[in-house]
Amino acid sequence: MAFLERFALKGGNMGEQGVHVAIVSDDYFAAVGFAHELRTAGITEVITLTTAAGRVCNLNRAPDCAVIDAADEHPESFARLIDVARQLGCPVLIIFKDLRPLWVKLAMDLGVLGVLTRHQARDHLPIAVRALAAGQSWIPPVASGESPTPTVHLSAREAQTLTLYCEGFKLAAIGRRLQVSESTVSTYLARIRGKYGALGRPVSTRLALRQEAIKDGYIRAT
């Protein structure tokens, strides 16, 4: 059954406007649980949505971040949820039961900029939401003792951007070489960092990103 429920949440403003979040889920109770986590952290407003496109189009204001609950981890299922979330025109964060490399890759290829597991969401959902609302990607904290993660798969454009960035080029120079805008270069870098971070490999600095890129064979060690 379709549902659209608005939670008026007080406090926790991000600037004067506050943070507005849309939770896209087919599980009403899970959505209410995530809304409660955000409310406890002081997020201003949360709207829960099903995948009914009409519900999405009737929102009065575009949210600052969309949170997808990927309880059913079949690729077709969460791809459908991502498609609905992208209609909102805002950054997308997806919550998986666990971090399966294939699912993470598919989500990132579909434009998702943040990934959490349900376990991580208990402590980090509000922080991740605020990060995406501020135009950043979210890098999940690495659990101690976590096993090494597989190679990050990048698109051709992302790989070109990564190579030039690790060689020390500034964003404007990379944009000129690739014949794209500086903001597009920033988007590529955000996606690259998001892909590494989603697999537990934080790359917040240029040096850290270069070290991980060497491990994956995208650039040569010098």
Whichever domain contains 210, its CATH number is: 1.10.10.10
> Of 100, 133, 166, which residue constitutes the final position of a domain?
133
Same domain, 82 and 183: no
* Residue 209 domain flag: yes
- Residue 199 is predicted with a pLDDT of 78
Number of domains into which the chain is organized? 2
Mean pLDDT within 162-179? 93
The CATH number of residue 68's host domain is 3.40.50.2300
* Residue 220 domain flag: no
Mean pLDDT within 131-159? 66
Give the amino acid at 140.
Answer: P
Q: Which residues contact 176 (CB under 8 A, 6 or more apart)?
A: none
* Residue 141 domain flag: no
Same domain, 126 and 163: no
* Residue 97 domain flag: yes
Using CA atoms, how far residue 192 sits from 17, 122, 182, 204, 221, in Å, is 29, 25, 15, 11, 19
- Residue 161 is predicted with a pLDDT of 93
* Residue 211 domain flag: yes
Give CA–CA dist 81/92, Å, rounded: 10
Mean pLDDT within 161-169? 92
* Residue 169 domain flag: yes
How many Å separate Cα 183 from the centre of its chain? 17
Q: Provide the residue range defining the domain that includes 177.
A: 156-215
User: Quick one: the chain helix, strand, coil %, rounded to 5?
Assistant: 45, 15, 40
Same domain, 81 and 173: no
Same domain, 111 and 185: no
Higher-confidence position of 13 and 91:
91
Structure tokens at 212: 């991980």
- Residue 222 is predicted with a pLDDT of 66
* Residue 145 domain flag: no
* Residue 148 domain flag: no
- Residue 141 is predicted with a pLDDT of 46
Same domain, 22 and 107: yes
- Residue 144 is predicted with a pLDDT of 32
- pLDDT for residue 181 is more than 60: yes
Bridge partners for 115 per DSSP: 94
Same domain, 111 and 183: no
Same domain, 17 and 95: yes
Give CA–CA dist 54/134, Å, rounded: 27
Q: Which residues contact 153 (CB under 8 A, 6 or more apart)?
A: 105, 195
Same domain, 29 and 84: yes
* Residue (of 53, 100, 109, 50) closest to 79 by Cα position: 109
- Residue 132: count of CB within 10 angstroms of its CB: 25
Same domain, 101 and 199: no
Give CA–CA dist 219/203, Å, rounded: 15
Structure tokens at 211: 């070290």
Same domain, 21 and 124: yes
> Of 101, 133, 165, which residue constitutes the final position of a domain?
133
Bridge partners for 94 per DSSP: 68, 115
Proportion of the chain above pLDDT 90, given as a percent: 17
